[in-house]
Structures are given as structure tokens and as C-alpha cells.
């Protein structure tokens, strides 16, 4: 974080200095919510978690080097006290992040040293955020959240990792309802906003894709007015292949850049192929120039993520040849998202972080691409928060399993039964096996009993299913 005195932080966050805190003490280290991450000069934020209360670690955090603790009740340590409970601590954190973002990357100032990029979409946010950070990181110091640190707590914490050396701040913004993205954009107003897609994730919470589109579009509404001069004004990077995303062009005063396979896309891919490794290759077209790109990431759906990344990198001043080289060198960063490993001659794909109908279809398409002449095993759990469409969407996934010819389908948990129902209903065109199991342990056992050298296994399900354990159990046994 940029260096600030405690009394200045108290003013910004609307808190009271307490304990033995010195008003002239300087916070110039990280802002953290985990006392184990405290370093010299840090600000420790005490929150009441489900298992532990951060206030209980206030003294140990200061002993480890924290200058002060942001708290909702007095503690025997230097502290900044909010007037309220946890929600006020989070609000104070947001106010501090808003100040830092304004100092470094105010999008209305052409002389701002930091370019803030926001990324949203129903699927692919984390992978695309990771891609952008790796590619533009070649041009200067870049800060991006770890994993899916994209909510009202993770978002400001990421912003507060930025300092005067930060040239790019890449932020993933998520929503559980209308207004959430707008709030995150007030915390860190972006200069560039990327909308990947509008899918079925959280359909049950939003009530329909139009409501999801309304929420995702809050990102482009938050952008400053555009300018014809590159590097100035706001830029909305929109997926030309998704009608609901393309329509967001009417909701922003920013300059619009379309990416995709559509002929009118400003950043376009042609000649898309998939290599034997499952990694796609394509020709990138940008600013009247073209160059081949070979990705190291697995799955044809990564082409769209790469195009969004190319659009951002171009706006930030990167040459097409450098973009292509950086895309080709990019590797998976966040865990459990198309992680490909080999074990005893079997290809294991861990895509267990989360699932919705769109990402599930992408995963199964990738499985088919990887398997080709090999046997395919799919371990699938339910897709959460789909509302009234849940049963039908699960059955459609089961039908896709049958259509691509998966040899063994392992369905985990009762909530995912619809997948088995859909696959079994396609018995007239599918000769594979469907197995229902209760949990990750049983799923791993079912796979171990069936897999043999040369097979491809993919694991996919919503976060609550915790299917990442399946891969661990397959590779390391029952001692996990």
C-alpha cells in the first residue's frame, strides 16, 4: 500500500485512533485479514469469521509487525475503531481502498500512473484475469487478486496491495445481485472494463439472464467517457459473440472494443484448431495485422479469454507480436481450473473450482478433445444456484455426456442426479456407464476401479461439492 500515517487513515476510514496507537505512525506494509500474513508496517483487519474472531489475534499481529489493527471493538493493541460491527469494518476497508485507487489510478486523469482494469462475466473471470495479469505484467509492475478474491472484502484488499510502482491493477468483479458490481467499481473505478459473457451462473439468485446482464453491465456503466486517443478515457471490452454482452455498448459512454470470432470484432480469431494436448491455436487479428497464437492453456473456450486479454493488452500499448508471445507463454495460475496432470499414464483434468451450464459444457468439450481415441471418464457434481431451471440444466449436461461418448460417468451427490438421468435417457445412442456415488471419496474409488493407462479423467462441479479432493485421492490414495 502507499504509505499513510495512522491519523490520515483514521480520517479516510472514519475511525477513531485507540489503544497505544501513535497518530504519526506510518502504515507502509500490506493490509491483511489473516494474522499469519502480517509483515512489518502492516495494517491488520480484525473480522469475526465463522471459526475465529480476528480480534483475538490483535496483539500477536502487532507483535509480528503490524502498526495497528482495524477493529469493531477495543483491543489491547494500537487500533482504529469503527462505529459498528463487521459491516462497518468492511465499509472502512472500502473507503481506504477507494482513496488509494484514486491516488494511483483515477481514470479521469490522463497522468494517472496506474491503469485499473475490471473483469466480469458468468464464467472465465478468474482465468482471464490471470491471463491479463501475466501478459501486461511484461510491461510493468502488475497487481491482481489471488484466485477469486472478487467480493466486498477481497476486492479492496487487492486494491490495497498496489503502491506507487504499480502500473496495472487487474481486478475481478463478481456479483450475487444487482448493485454489487456498481459498488465494487466505486471502490476502484476502472479505466478498462471487460465483460466476458452472460450465462446461467447464479440464475436462481438473479431470476433470469436479463437480470444477470443488468448486473454485469454495471461495469461498463462505471467507465469514464471514451476518447479516440489510445490510452485516454474509458474503454469497454465486450464479447462480440454474446448478444447480451454486445448490447451493453449502448449502456456506456466509453469507447467500445469488440472481441470474438464475429467479422466485425476489432480483436478477432480465425483458423481455430485444437492441438493434441487440448490447447487451442488460432490466428489473432488486431489493428489490421495478424499473427499466429498457440496457447498453453487447455480448452477451446480459452480462445475467447485470450482475445479479451489481447484487447486489454493492445489498449495498454502492447504490440501484437508481444501479445502473441505472452499469450503462448501463459500458464494456469489459480488452482482447480483446467489443471492438467499425468498419473500412471492417465491424464487428469482438475476443473473442480466451480460449475455452471456454460463452464460444464466447455469442460466436457475439452474432455472430448483430449480423449479423441482414448477412453473418457467424467466425474461431475451439481451446478448450484440455477433455480427452477436446475433439473433441466442438469439433464442437458447428461445428454451432452452421452453425445460426446464419455465411457464412464461418475455423478457425485443427489443434487446432481439429473446428470445421470439425462445420460441414461440417451441410452439409445450411448453405450457408456453411469455410476451414482455420494461423495468425493466414493467418486475417487469408482475412478480408480475403472481407469487404465491412456484414459482421460475430468472432475467438475460447484464449489460446495469440493471435488478437488477426487484428484488428490486418485493420485495419493486414501491417506488424504
The domain covering 339-476 belongs, at the CATH homologous superfamily level, to: Mur ligase, C-terminal domain (3.90.190.20)
pLDDT digits (tens, 9 = 90+) for 224-256: 998 877 767 999 999 999 999 999 999 999 999
**Residues linked to residue 274 through DSSP beta bridges, in sequence order:** 280
Q: What pLDDT, on the 0 to 100 scale, is given for residue 108?
A: 86
Shortest CA distance to 175 belongs to which of 240, 259, 118, 223? 118
| C-beta separation of 193 from 222 below 8 A | yes
| C-beta separation of 246 from 238 below 8 A | yes
DSSP secondary-structure letter at 299? Answer: S
User: Among the CATH numbers 3.40.1190.10, 3.30.360.10, 3.10.20.30, 3.30.479.30, which is that of 101-329?
Assistant: 3.40.1190.10
Q: What pLDDT, on the 0 to 100 scale, is given for residue 150?
A: 80
Q: HSE on the CB side for 377, CA within 13 Å?
A: 27
- Architecture of the domain whose range is 4-84: 3-Layer(aba) Sandwich (3.40)
Domain with CATH 3.90.190.20 in the chain: 339-476
pLDDT of 202 > 70? The answer is no
Q: Take residue 473 and report the three cell numbers written for it.
A: 485421492
- Report the helix count and the strand count for the chain, using DSSP H and E: 17, 22
Q: What pLDDT, on the 0 to 100 scale, is given for residue 205?
A: 65
Rounded to whole angstroms, the Cα distance separating 254 from 235 reads: 5
Rounded to whole angstroms, the Cα distance separating 175 from 183 reads: 10
Domain with CATH 3.40.1190.10 in the chain: 101-329
Whole-model pTM: value is 0.89
DSSP secondary-structure letter at 318? Answer: -
Shortest CA distance to 259 belongs to which of 199, 307, 315? 307
Rounded to whole angstroms, the Cα distance separating 454 from 464 reads: 30
Top-confidence residue, 333 or 405: 405
Backbone angles phi, psi at 169, to 5 degrees: -120, 105
pLDDT digits (tens, 9 = 90+) for 433-444: 999 999 999 999
pLDDT digits (tens, 9 = 90+) for 164-200: 999 999 999 988 788 999 999 999 999 999 999 998 7
Compute the residue count for the chain.
480
- Within 8 A by CB and 6+ apart from 456, the residues are 346, 347, 349, 367, 370, 371, 374, 375, 376, 377
pLDDT digits (tens, 9 = 90+) for 319-342: 999 999 999 999 988 877 888 999
Amino acid at each position: 500500500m502507499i504509505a499513510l500515517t495512522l491519523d490520515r487513515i483514521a480520517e479516510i476510514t472514519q475511525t477513531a485512533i485507540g489503544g497505544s496507537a501513535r497518530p504519526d505512525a506510518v502504515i507502509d506494509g500490506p493490509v491483511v485479514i489473516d494474522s499469519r500474513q502480517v509483515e512489518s508496517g502492516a495494517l491488520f483487519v480484525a473480522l469475526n469469521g465463522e471459526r475465529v474472531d480476528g480480534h483475538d489475534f490483535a496483539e500477536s499481529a502487532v507483535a509480528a509487525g503490524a502498526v495497528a489493527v482495524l477493529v469493531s471493538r477495543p483491543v489491547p493493541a494500537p487500533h482504529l475503531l469503527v462505529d459498528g460491527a463487521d459491516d462497518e469494518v468492511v465499509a472502512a476497508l472500502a473507503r481506504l481502498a477507494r482513496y488509494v485507487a484514486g491516488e494511483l489510478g483515477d481514470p479521469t486523469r490522463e497522468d494517472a500512473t496506474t491503469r485499473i482494469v475490471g473483469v466480469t462475466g458468468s464464467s472465465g473471470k478468474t482465468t482471464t484475469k490471470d491471463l491479463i495479469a501475466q501478459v501486461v505484467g511484461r510491461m510493468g509492475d502488475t497487481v491482481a487478486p489471488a484466485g477469486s478474491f472478487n467480493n466486498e472484502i477481497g476486492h479492496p484488499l487487492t486494491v490495497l496491495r498496489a503502491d506507487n510502482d504499480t502500473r496495472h491493477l487487474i481486478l475481478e468483479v463478481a456479483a450475487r445481485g444487482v448493485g454489487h458490481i456498481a459498488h465494487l467499481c466505486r471502490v476502484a473505478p476502472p479505466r478498462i472494463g471487460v465483460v466476458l459473457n452472460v450465462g446461467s451462473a447464479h440464475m436462481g439468485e438473479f431470476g433470469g439472464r436479463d437480470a444477470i446482464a443488468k448486473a454485469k453491465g454495471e461495469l461498463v456503466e462505471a467507465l469514464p467517457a471514451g476518447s479516440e486517443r489510445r490510452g485516454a478515457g474509458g474503454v469497454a471490452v465486450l464479447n462480440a459473440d454474446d448478444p447480451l454482452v454486445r448490447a451493453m455498448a449502448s449502456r456506456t459512454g466509453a469507447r467500445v472494443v469488440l472481441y470474438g470470432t464475429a467479422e466485425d470484432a476489432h480483436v478477432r480469431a480465425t483458423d481455430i484448431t485444437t492441438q493434441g494436448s487440448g490447447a487451442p491455436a488460432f490466428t489473432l487479428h488486431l489493428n489490421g495485422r495478424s499473427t499466429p497464437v498457440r496457447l498453453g492453456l487447455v480448452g477451446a473456450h480459452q480462445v475467447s479469454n485470450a482475445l479479451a486479454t489481447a484487447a486489454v493488452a493492445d489498449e495498454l500499448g502492447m504490440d501484437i507480436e508481444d501479445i502473441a508471445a505472452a499469450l503462448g507463454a501463459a500458464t494456469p495460475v489459480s488452482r482447480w481450473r483446467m489443471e492438467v496432470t499425468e498419473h500412471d499414464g492417465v491424464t487428469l483434468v482438475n476443473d473442480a473450482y466451480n460449475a455452471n451450464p456454460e463452464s460444464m459444457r466447455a469442460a466436457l468439450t475439452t474432455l472430448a478433445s483430449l480423449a479423441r481415441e482414448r477412453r473418457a471418464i467424467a466425474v461431475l457434481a451439481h451446478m448450484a444456484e440455477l433455480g427452477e431451471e436446475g433439473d433441466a440444466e442438469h439433464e442437458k449436461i447428461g445428454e451432452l455426456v452421452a453425445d460426446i461418448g464419455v465411457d464412464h460417468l461418475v455423478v457425485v451427490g443427489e443434487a446432481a442426479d439429473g446428470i445421470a438421468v439425462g445420460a441414461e435417457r440417451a441410452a439409445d445412442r450411448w453405450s457408456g456407464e453411469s455410476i451414482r456415488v455420494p461423495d468425493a471419496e466414493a467418486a475417487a474409488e469408482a475412478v480408480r476401479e475403472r481407469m487404465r493407462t491412456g484414459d482421460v479423467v475430468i472432475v467438475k462441479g460447484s464449489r460446495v461439492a469440493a471435488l478437488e479432493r477426487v484428484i488428490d485421492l486418485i493420485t495419493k490414495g486414501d491417506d488424504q
